[in-house]
Structure 1
Amino acid sequence: MMLLLLLVLSIWVRSDRADSTQSSERRVVAHMPGDIIIGALFSVHHQPPADKVHERKCGAVREQYGIQRVEAMM
């Protein structure tokens, strides 16, 4: 199975390289003035405990996987 996957990937990469060398002579570029907006959603808080769910308040801050992901996005 792995051998078949490797064979398919090697053929695909070779055909991709052949296409890129032929199309490099005639390059088409699109340019649109303006800003680029990149957005993302992160789970910054833990889920609240089961007895506090009805209060609709956030759980504790996930410092390692919440805040760090937000900082990396910035």
Structure 2
Amino acid sequence: MASGASHVARILYKEIVAGDLRKILAQSNDSDTGGGARDFRFGSFKTLLPVIRQMFPKKVKENRKRDGI
């Protein structure tokens, strides 16, 4: 938790709606052709970017690993 005025906690959240719950439960693939991605999207990136930049003004690069790479 943030302590003091200089340590503000910034949180970006998304409300989980019925369609998202279907994704979590792997029931969102309505056809037998494959797919069924479980990513959650916020909407128009172009619209949200100015707000996100205000919320998170400093860029921090983090190295991530996937499958040991």
Q: Could you say whether these structures have the same fold, taking a TM-score greater than 0.5 normalized by the shorter chain as the test?
A: no
Greater Cα radius of gyration, structure 1 or 2: 1
- Greater helix content: 1
TM-score by length of 1: 0.27
TM-score by length of 2: 0.28
